[in-house]
Structure 1
Amino acid sequence: MIWLRSLLALVLLCLASVPATAQIRELPQSREQVQLSFAPVVRQTAPAVVNIYTRRLVRNQLLPFFQDPFFQRFFGNNGFGIPRERVERSLGSGVIVSEDGLIVTNNHVAGQGSEILVVLSDKREFEAKVLLADERTDLAVLKIETNGSKLPTIAFDDSDSLQVGDLVLAIGNPFGVGQTVTSGIVSALARTAAGISDYQFFIQTDAAINPGNSGGALVDMNGRLVGINTAIYSRSGGSIGIGFAIPANTVRMVVESARAGGKVVRPWLGVNMQDMTADIAESLGLAAPTGAVVLDGHPLSPLIKAGLRTGDVLIAIDGKPVDSPAAANYRFSTLRIGGRAEVAFLRDGKRMTAQVAVIAPPEEPAQNRTTLQGRSPLAGLVVANLSPAVAEELGVPSAREGVVVVDLARGPARQLGFRPGDILVEVNGRKLGSVKDAVAATQRSARMWEVVVNRKGQVISSTFGG
């Protein structure tokens, strides 16, 4: 019996030495057990991804002296052989988001196209018209007439539910070779990429995205749309594994605006913010540099009216974290106007919350659009009072008062380099707070005109002859 007990103890000791993670390996019993495939997702989504071909006629802007009859007499109407018109063509992709033919793509693909051809995955072709083109988000919504036939679609997903590491597929038409599917993961969230759009809040992916993929679908493993592919980071022009997609929550907001038949109206924060730095966090007694610091705000700002003030640190909107001004603008831009949002912020190291109204930028004061007349170099400028609504439309900072250029009519100002969005600050030493001030300043006569303009934060002072 002693030897039997010793043998049993030895067996138990051997079993105890087997790693806990060891698994019994078996031969696969079916094809499904050895095959990993994205084919089911592709079958579900690819039919709703289309190719888009656009054509537009571009009229060249000739130098002013080429338009003078004296020069045209010697050089002809085109001046030094420069053509007046040229044809621009572009290629991209799009996603069908409604059975009756609503398609979303990038603004830089189709927003300015005069002729737009949409080719479905089954080779059917349709002419499309632009319902809405939004340069600031770089999105455009197209419509094709299907004569009652229903089209395949991709449903929106909540892009805020994405996590870094999630598998995604990019579907589009790179280089015009035909519909192509590439796979990858979500590499990062809330990426900023300057120059793509004003709302710099993107999904980054390593799924191969190349020219022609713009406007195509980024889908998750449930076959739902999580983003619209829009740009790549590349030195060669080809994919190096750094691509950017506009989140589906932003896309949904633009599509809903198109359905409503209007332009995109975004909720308005009305405050200037800056990124939190380690030094600022230390001075405020914060454990980590996160959030967006409120610098100042417009008196009509819903945040200011809700009680926030300079120095407060915005950390969440409706429970979604905010770690930068870009994140705050994005979180707020996806909310519905007319509702309320809970904003969490830090003040003197203490967490506080406030209920904030979600409003459109107000048009206060009234625009009072006026074309400046007279014999000044500003004649021909179409100006308006700088309200939050006008500032949002032109993409310039909101201000309590000011005069902004909204258009250029015939007159000397057209030839002097003024642009829509320029804010007129002073004329001959006189500060301009309203359109009334601008009209009064330009009705006077002067031998020399000193004009101060704020252009995208840069103050430009110019002198013109009378």
Structure 2
Amino acid sequence: MRFLKPSLIWPLLTGLLLGLLLLQVFPELAGQGGESQSSSQVQAEVMASEPLLIPRQQGPVSYAQAVRQAAPSVVNIYTTKVIQQQLNPFLNDPFFRHFFGDDTLPRQQRMQSSLGSGVLVSSEGYLLTNHHVVQDADEIRVALRDGRETFARIIGSDAESDLAVLKIELDNLPAISLASSDTLEVGDVVLAIGNPFGVGQTVTQGIVSALGRSSLGINTYEDFIQTDAAINPGNSGGALINPYGQLLGINTAIFSRSGGSQGIGFAIPSNLAREIMLDLINEGFVIRGWLGVEVQELTPGLASSLNLETVQGLLVAGLQRNGPAHQAGLQPGDLLLEINGQPVTTARDTINYIARLRPDSTARLGILRDGETREVRARVRQRPSQENRR
């Protein structure tokens, strides 16, 4: 048997130990060829399944600055009106009133109070609030956040949009800045400021849940911002603001089965509120266009019964005699396709669009009659119910 020389044993042991050490530090050196490729594939699959880091816009962690800017412009409104009551309920019977007369029957007066909110939109003292907040009020008292109180007078009120303009006579009034409601998107953060249940000025936070809400049966003209910011009785007429403290809308109504907030509130957009405010201040009433046409939305069944090949457009269901549409030559049964080149969609949107047309302007109406499209021109007039001047 032959033995290695002692001089060769130590280099071999040193090399073996060094190799073992390298395998411990770099275990991937143990795999070669197909095994290495398989390991790389597994690693690629694992990396592909890792969540992606999506960059997000940085938002504020506090809305205190927005509240500090907007809150002084939001006021509490307290209204009172005198209610006449008969002392005896039998005296309300027409039989007794016929014999005794209304003037001779004893009556009792009582004061009915209600509360709401308003927004200072001008340093000159103009306030925006809801029509239903000040409706039939004999006295309107406004309380500012800085502790001042004063009486207000109604400049104008519009029941069809549920907006009213008040005016107070005080100095150094903090007016809010208006933002364009046209820039709003669903998901934007909003804050509601008002006086819910009379507890005092309160701020709630939420997002824009929907835009252009209509057909709710709240007002004649509806184009609401829907929000889940808590709105409760007393918030009516208050401010819906953005995170910069600018006015986006006037809080108006809630959808609720209990009477409290259930996360579905509605506000009148600031752009629409501004238009109505200027009309009320300058004219005393809201200027609205009118064509004297009644339209009905088409359903597949209705279109089939009329032998129509399309369900697009609105059916002309009626015309006001000698109204603009009647004088322009529209007929019941015509299909209204567009106004001024804009396709009509729903009856509610069409009513809102016509209302925004200025009186004495010309409206181009695209219609379908007897299978042929044609255009008629109608001269827009002032809506008759709005012709009550100051």
Aligned counterpart, 1:132: 156
Deviation at 1:303, TM superposition (A): 3.8
Q: Determine the C-alpha separation between the residues in 1 that align with 2:234 and 2:58.
A: 36
The whole-number CA distance in structure 2 between the counterparts of 1:21 and 1:129 is: 64
The whole-number CA distance in structure 1 between the counterparts of 2:282 and 2:177 is: 20
State how far apart, in whole Å, the 1-side matches of 2:312 and 2:193 are. Answer: 35
* Aligned mates of 1:221, 1:317 — CA distance in 2: 37
Asked whether 1:246 is paired with 2:268, we answer yes
Q: How far apart, CA to CA, are the structure 2 residues paired with 1:202 and 1:348?
A: 37
Q: Is the alpha carbon distance of 1:13 and 1:306 closer, same or farther for their aligned partners in structure 2, counting shifts above 3 Å?
A: farther
In structure 1, how many angstroms separate the alpha carbons of the residues matched to 2:297 and 2:110? 44
1:192 is matched with which residue? Answer: 215
For residues 79-158 of structure 1, the aligned pairs below 5 Å read: 83-147=107-171, 149-155=172-178, 157-158=180-181
The one-letter code of the counterpart of 2:79 is T
AA of the residue aligned to 1:43:
R
Q: Distance in 2 between matches of 1:126 and 1:323?
A: 46
Which residue of structure 1 aligns with residue 195 of structure 2? 173
Look up the equivalent residue of 2:111 and give its one-letter code: V
Pairing partner for 1:274 from 275, 278, 296:
296
Which one of 49, 63, 71 corresponds to residue 74 of structure 2?
Answer: 49
Higher mean Cα deviation, 85-94 or 295-304? Answer: 295-304
C-alpha separation between the residues in 1 aligned to 2:162 and 2:188? 25
> Structure 1: which amino acid aligns with 2:73?
A
Q: For residues 80-109 of structure 1, give each alpha carbon's deviation from its aligned partner in whole angstroms, at most 9, with x where no partner exists.
A: xxx432211110011222221111111111
Query: What is the deviation of 1:359?
Result: 2.5
SS at structure 2 position matched to 1:84:
strand
Q: 1:233 to 1:261 in 2, by over 3 A?
A: same
- Check conservation: 1:128, 1:144, Cα contact below 8 A: yes
1:22 is matched with 51
Q: Which amino acid aligns with 2:108?
A: R
Give the match's secondary structure for 2:72: helix
SS in 2 for 1:45: helix
- What RMSD in Å do the two structures reach over aligned CA positions? 3.9
Note if contact 2:192-2:203 (Cα within 8 Å) is conserved in structure 1: yes
TM-aligned CA distance change 1:238 to 1:257, over 3 Å = same
From the superposition, tell whether residues 246 and 320 of structure 1 become closer, same or farther in structure 2 (CA, over 3 Å): farther
In 2 relative to 1, CA 164–23 (structure 1 residues): closer, same or farther, beyond 3 Å?
closer
User: For each residue in 1:112-165, what CA deviation from the matched residue of structure 2 results, as whole angstroms up to 9, or x when unmatched?
Assistant: 222111112222222110011222222211001124x34222315245x54444
Q: 1:346 to 1:77 in 2, by over 3 A?
A: same
**Could you list the per-position Cα deviations for residues 233-260 of structure 1 after superposition, in whole angstroms to 9, with x for gaps in the alignment?**
2222111222233343442232112221
Query: Partner amino acid for 2:209?
Result: V
Residue type of the partner of 2:219? S
The one-letter amino acid of 2:201's match is Q
Alignment of 1:61-460 (within 5 A): 62-67=92-97, 70=100, 77-78=105-106, 83-147=107-171, 149-155=172-178, 157-159=180-182, 162-182=184-204, 183-187=206-210, 189-194=212-217, 196-221=218-243, 223-282=245-304, 283-286=307-310, 289=311, 291-305=313-327, 308-314=330-336, 317=339, 322-341=344-363, 356-361=378-383, 389=384
Q: Is the 8 A contact 1:266 1:360 kept in 2?
A: yes
Give the counterpart letter for 2:43 in structure 1.
Answer: C
Give the whole-Å Cα distance in 2 for the aligned partners of 1:40 and 1:5: 63
Q: Compute the displacement of 1:347 (Å).
A: 5.6
CA contact (8 A) 2:128 2:163 kept: yes
SS at match of 2:236: coil
TM score, norm. by length of structure 1: 0.63
Q: Is the 8 A contact 1:269 1:329 kept in 2?
A: no
Confirm or deny: 8 A CA contact 2:290 2:359 kept in the other structure: no
- How many Å separate the matches in 1 of 2:375 and 2:37? 66
Cα distance between partner residues in 1 of 2:376 and 2:179: 30
Partners of 2:128 and 2:368 in 1: CA distance: 39
Further displaced range: 253-262 or 92-101: 253-262
* Gap change, CA 1:335 and 1:70, over 3 Å in 2: closer
The 3 A distance-change label for structure 1 pair 305 and 242 is same
Measured against aligned partners, the alpha-carbon deviations of 1:251-300 in whole angstroms (never above 9, x if no partner) come to 223211222142223211210112322322454222xx554321122354
After superposition, what is the alpha-carbon deviation per residue over 1:335-375, rounded to whole angstroms, capped at 9, x for unaligned?
333444555555677877666544314xxxxxxxxxxxxxx
Q: Is the 2:141–2:150 Cα contact (8 Å) retained in structure 1?
A: yes
Q: Which runs of 5+ in 2 are unaligned?
A: 1-28, 87-91
Identity %: 41
1:170-212: CA deviation from partner (whole Å, max 9, x where unpaired) = 2211101112222233235332222x33224433333221110
For 1:226 and 1:305, locate their aligned partners in 2 and report how far apart those are by CA, in whole Å: 40
State the TM-score, normalized to the length of structure 2. Answer: 0.74
Secondary structure at the residue paired with 1:98?
A: coil
Amino acid of the structure 2 residue aligned with 1:23:
L
Give the equivalent residue in structure 2 for 1:456.
Answer: none
Between the two proteins, the alignment pairs up a number of residues equal to 351
1:169·1:219 contact (CA, 8 Å) conserved in 2? yes
1:251 alignment partner, SS class:
helix
Q: Which has the higher contact order (CA 8 A, sep 6+)?
A: 2
**Structure 2 CA distance for aligned equivalents of residues 164 and 350 of structure 1:** 40
Task: Give the aligned residue type for 2:237.
Answer: G
Is contact 1:306–1:355 with CA below 8 Å preserved after alignment? yes
Is the Cα–Cα contact under 8 Å of residues 167 and 186 in structure 1 kept in the other structure?
Answer: no
